[in-house]
Amino acid sequence: ALAELPDAHVLLTSSTATSTVALAAARPPDRCIHVFQPVDTVQAVRRFLDHWRPDVAGFSELDFWPRLMIETKGREIPMILVNSRMPEGSFPWTLRPPSRAG
């Protein structure tokens, strides 16, 4: 998939040190940057995306927090989910109207 976007800068996020080690061992291309996921609040996620401005966002780990997905989708940034799941209790929260969701 990345071969189709040769000029894209990819932001890979995770939430554990183990993933950092695994990613380093995989030796991704230089245009891929790994950082830890931000706290899942509107303000933190917006600052995070404003700072990094990825062309593509990759999310990894067992838990995936909904605010990061909502804000990324709202900016029309393509997403790649790797070994991710959304905690069951988080899903109904994402169905609320945006004015009450955050």
Name the residue among 80, 73, 59 with its Cα closest to residue 15: 59
pLDDT tens for the 102 residues of the chain, in order: 677 888 898 898 888 887 778 778 887 888 888 899 999 999 999 999 999 999 999 887 656 678 999 999 999 999 988 775 556 666 565 556 655 544
| pLDDT confidence of residue 87 | 61
In the chain, domain spans: 8-87
Query: What topology does CATH give the domain 8-87?
Result: Rossmann fold (3.40.50)
| pLDDT confidence of residue 45 | 97
| pLDDT confidence of residue 97 | 60
Q: Is the Cβ–Cβ distance between 18 and 4 less than 8 Å?
A: no
| pLDDT confidence of residue 77 | 96
